[in-house]
Copies of this chain bind each other. A is one copy, B any other.
Amino acid sequence: MAGLTKLEKLSRGLLKLVERCNSFILPGSSRPECHTFLVHSCQVGLIQPDVWKHLINYPDVFVISGSDELTSRKSLSIKDTFKTANERTAAVAKVLEDLRQKDVFLSLRGWRNETYDIRHTFAEVPLLAIERSGTGLFGTVEYGVHINGYCHKDGQLMMWVGRRSKTKQTYPGLLDNMCAGGLSSGLGVRECAIKECQEEASVPMEMFSGLHQTGCISYIYEDERGIFPECEFTFDMLLPETFIPVNADGEVDHFELMSMEKIKEMIIDEEFKPNSALVIMDFMIRHGLITTENEPNLCYLIEMMHIPLQKIYSTGSGF
């Protein structure tokens, strides 16, 4: 990127970032070949052909419920004999345990013994829960929380970022928000944010009055582990200048207090976990650091971090 100004480099970096986080909706993805995953006739996910061919071997659990003549797209449904969320959860868990034993999917090697709730939309009740390492196989929406921990030092806005442990399953060694985590089954959003702040950064209880939610970002990507439509609830936390985060769960190698200029450079250099960079981009936009005065693609960046995941499976709008 020689010859480019700092602003041009950042602009290219941000464009690359939002497209990387949305690889599933860009040309060349598996999207046109994917089949749909239904519960109670409601679409809640997407299945890649390579995954499909294994899942159809479990006719006790799944039924192929239809096919779209226009697109050759088929649908896989959990059988209606499984009537409750608990029954569906148990049935799918058995399938995933079997596939894990057979070592069919890379993703299942990272078995977590932790489940994500699967809902039609976030406002609705969970239809089932799926083992965290297996949700990408079904392309179901995952929810999580990210906390921007920032402070003012000598009048300058600074942000605490963590360097992920080199032993983390996903994105080892990359930079991350001060705290972040997936929304496991049964956890509330704020409850999850507080838990992550405690475990990952040892934030003391009396500081949580300064933790406030600021909305969410959403995007959809695919990689070798599957399809990931993700919605991350974002939080800002203005920290006292004297506060220093200390990791308590071994997931963070160390923390650094960075200027926003330094963070921009780290985003350009792809030193950040992509969705965490997106969360910081959202922070910079909300705080007036990325504007139409310095970023020509502002509108496009904003819409690429607000992919309509709530409607994506309910309207048949291209998904």
Q: Using a CB–CB distance below 8 Å, which chain A residues touch chain B?
A: 121-123, 188-190, 212-216, 218, 231, 233, 236, 285-288, 291-293, 296-300, 302-303, 306-311, 317-318
User: Which residues of B are found within 8 Å of A122, using beta-carbon distances?
Assistant: 292, 296-300
Q: Which residue of B lies closest to A235 (CB)?
A: B288
User: Which residues of B are found within 8 Å of A299, using beta-carbon distances?
Assistant: 121-123, 216, 218, 231, 309-310
User: Which residues of B are found within 8 Å of A291, using beta-carbon distances?
Assistant: 189-190, 212-213
Tell me whether chain A's interface is mostly helix, strand or loop, or mixed: mixed
- The answer, among B123, B297, B300, for a CB contact under 8 Å with A300, is B123
- Give the docked Cα–Cα distance between A165 and B190 (Å): 42
- Give the docked Cα–Cα distance between A292 and B287 (Å): 21
User: Which residues of B are found within 8 Å of A303, using beta-carbon distances?
Assistant: 218, 306-311
Q: Which residue of B lies closest to A145 (CB)?
A: B292
- Give the docked Cα–Cα distance between A218 and B300 (Å): 11
User: Which residues of B are found within 8 Å of A292, using beta-carbon distances?
Assistant: 122, 188-190, 213, 233
- The answer, among B215, B288, B298, for a CB contact under 8 Å with A302, is B215
Asked if residues A216 and B302 are in contact (CB atoms below 8 Å), the reply is yes
User: Which residues of B are found within 8 Å of A236, using beta-carbon distances?
Assistant: 288
- Give the docked Cα–Cα distance between A233 and B285 (Å): 11
User: Which residues of B are found within 8 Å of A212, using beta-carbon distances?
Assistant: 287-288, 291
